[in-house]
Amino acid sequence: MKLLVAVKHVPDTEARVRVAPDGISLDETGVKFVLSPYDEFALEEALRIREARGGEVILVCAGKEAATATLRQGLAMGADRAVIVRDEGFDRADALARARVLAAVMRMESPDLILMGKYGVGTDENQTGPMLAEILDLPHAAGVSKLELGPATFTAHREVEGAVEVMEGSLPAVITCEKGLNEPRYASLKGIMAAKKKTIEVKTVVDLGCDPADLGEGARVIWESMDLPPPRRAGRVLQGDPSQTAQELARLLREEARVI
């Protein structure tokens, strides 16, 4: 079974980010980049399916050259090979441009199942997966927390407002993965060493027949500015008699915070 996992190269969620002088990008000085956490669930699921059914797990990433390190991370976890569509313009690409490029790779590989995180942390768009499925005209299930496969079908469970929605469809399909689907493994020393010898195929947007303009001025979403959230105001401590402070707290919640 050929399993294709789309991944994204993102800043570590624990990193302290800063806005670059241009006002529309991150200052990457000292920032560690990693495999997007939700993509780890997708990769782990693909590895488990391969272990149960046999086949091949292929990583695909659309990003700049530095994203190769993230692909090595995925190869160390157990993926068989990787494809990177390399272009610095992916830092500014919108979800549709990414979906079009990923779709071109999918057509080239003809996988039996496509897995990816429900979104890449940082942008949190949750758009690339559905767009990819639409472009490829494939069934799609988003935010899946349990996945079962038949010979040519899938059953996906997703949590929706206190309930569980069960979706069924045919393969191939696009599945975006939610936290709780599994527990991603750590890369072993053996896996890290083996990853150095595994193949990462480099493609360009032109190689895939896609329009390079989609990554620049032709993008449908343009970043105009980037700002960090304003500093949080210091908390207030109410002191004195408990009955009086309780009344003051109620007043503040009603008149200033306006939550009651």
Least Cα distance to 214 among 97, 116, 120 occurs for 97
Average model confidence (pLDDT) for the chain? 90
Mean pLDDT for the stretch of residues 106-117: 95
- What is the phi-psi region of residue 161: left when phi exceeds 0, alpha when psi lies from -120 to 50, beta otherwise? left
What CA–CA distance (Å, rounded) separates 7 from 116?
Answer: 6
Output the pLDDT for position 189. Answer: 93
Is residue 34 scored above 80 in pLDDT? yes
Is residue 132 scored above 70 in pLDDT? yes
Q: Which two tokens stand for residue 12?
A: 């570590």
Contact (CB, 8 A) for 60 and 105: yes
Output the pLDDT for position 213. Answer: 79
Q: What is the dihedral of CA 32, 128, 55, 72, to 10 degrees?
A: -20
CATH class given for the domain over 2-215: alpha beta
Output the pLDDT for position 216. Answer: 64
| H/E stretch holding 106 | helix 95-109
β-sheet bridge partners, residue 156 = 147, 167
What CA–CA distance (Å, rounded) separates 256 from 260?
Answer: 10
- Give the tens place of pLDDT for each residue, 139-168: 999 999 999 999 999 999 999 888 999 999
β-sheet bridge partners, residue 170 = 153
Q: Which two tokens stand for residue 21?
A: 């002088």
User: Is 190 or 232 the better-scoring residue by pLDDT?
Assistant: 190
What CA–CA distance (Å, rounded) separates 20 from 159?
Answer: 38
β-sheet bridge partners, residue 149 = 154
Is residue 91 scored above 80 in pLDDT? no
Give this prediction's pTM.
0.84
